[in-house]
Chain A
Amino acid sequence: MKTDHELIREYQTGSVAAFDELVQRHVQMVFGFFVKITRDPMAAEDLSQDLFIKLHKHLKKFRFEAAFTTYLYRAQTNTANSWLSRNKWKHFLHLDQAAESGAPDTSVEKDWRKKELWDAVGKLPKKQRSVVMMRIAQELPYRDIADILGISVGSAKVNFHHALNKLKGWING
């Protein structure tokens, strides 16, 4: 089985099949990440498509300095960041949608809590938002998050801690 870098090299010499193989290898992970954030498979597919179209253009200049997955995580985090910023004002909840306190843990309430979570994440500053997305939606370790965002591990932890405090305040009232 060819590595990601080998496939990219082939793509850079003009092989469309190599790019297709790269897409098929990573599409499930990318799609899953976007589903967690958008809660909508259709929107997630659109975002995945946008991401791979951008990759198709930019992979020709890929410099093999880091793993392809690092590059991919960064790209999908940026795409999700833009989506959350675009949709931040579209997700105001109607009062009748809010779950009552003390209600049983139904799937409706769980959906509502998820929606509330990602609406709140959308309001965070960009760096904190990126760290939260990678930590919660992808469950990446701090070391990887730091590599992807080009920051130190300490900075990743601090950003995540600040973000959690804000989210706790917003979600728990």
Chain B
Amino acid sequence: MTTTSRAPATLLLAHGSGGRLTRELVREAFLPVLGNPFLATLTDAAVLPELPPGRPALTTDAFVVDPAVFPGGDLGYLSVVGTVNDLAMVGARPLWLTWALVLEEGAPGELISTCATGAARAAAESGIAIVAGDTKVVPRGKGDGIYAVTAGLGVVPPGRDVGDHRIVAGDAVLVSGPIGDHGATIMACRHGLGSDDLRSDCAGEAALVEALFASGAEVHSLHDPTRGGVLAVCHETGERCGLRIHLDELAIPVRPQVRAVCDVLGLEVLSLACEGRVVAWVAARDAGRALDAVRGQGDGEGAAVIGRVTERGAGEVGLVLETAAGGRRPLDLMSGSDLPRIC
């Protein structure tokens, strides 16, 4: 078996017909890079070993990012890490994924190979296997090159309980690195603001989350700030836990090149998507320990404590920004579709 994805130069409708060309596409483009004993059987469903002890966690996600290949990643890579991260955010250890592609007639083979290779790389980095897949081809003009849909299965180990119900007044809010890299990169690509300094942060966060638990810090809740960014996850979390979250604008790590893209395009950095960051709510006394654990991980060196949780009076807003200028303002969700198709 080779280890290179070799998709046909141009995708035909017949590649989705279920006949010989479909079989060829799977054998040449997908199996060489994604292959594992479960997938290789090419049966109707993957039959898997018994789950380790704990509670199963199941998630699904769709990916339509435009452009499909961007500095720091591609749609295939993003689809796998995005699914892995959704599992990790509930405290689950990711195990198996399914991966379905909707391809457009005429899509270049190079795009398909890039995304298949990206997905394989992400799976290997996260220690998971893609155990089932599907490919459909839609007529030219009915899709946009490539879309992916995943499902992910993991297990929350016994005794681990993570969620907004555990957040209490006093908790510290951590972010695992500079925010907005993914959203800024995608928007810069679309507006022709190319820069060698801009790269998506997309990455699997399962190992970082495990390190956080291993540190012994009392971890209350975890979120990946994807669509809507840090603002959206903090706003939703504030609503769900009924407490008030204070963010300190000066403490929030933002790369200068990301700030520059925001200035040029009029974007709010707090609303920009990250695809490889974690926002964690931890017991205040454990903030230092949690920060050390995250900083010890490859992409966690830029981690910072960005806020804290307080009690909230009846009718008060749930999310407040202490501004760089020293003022304070409530933060509200964006409305409308300012940033479509970022993941």
Same complex for A and B? Answer no
Contacts from B to A (Cβ < 8 Å) = none
Contacts from A to B (Cβ < 8 Å) = none
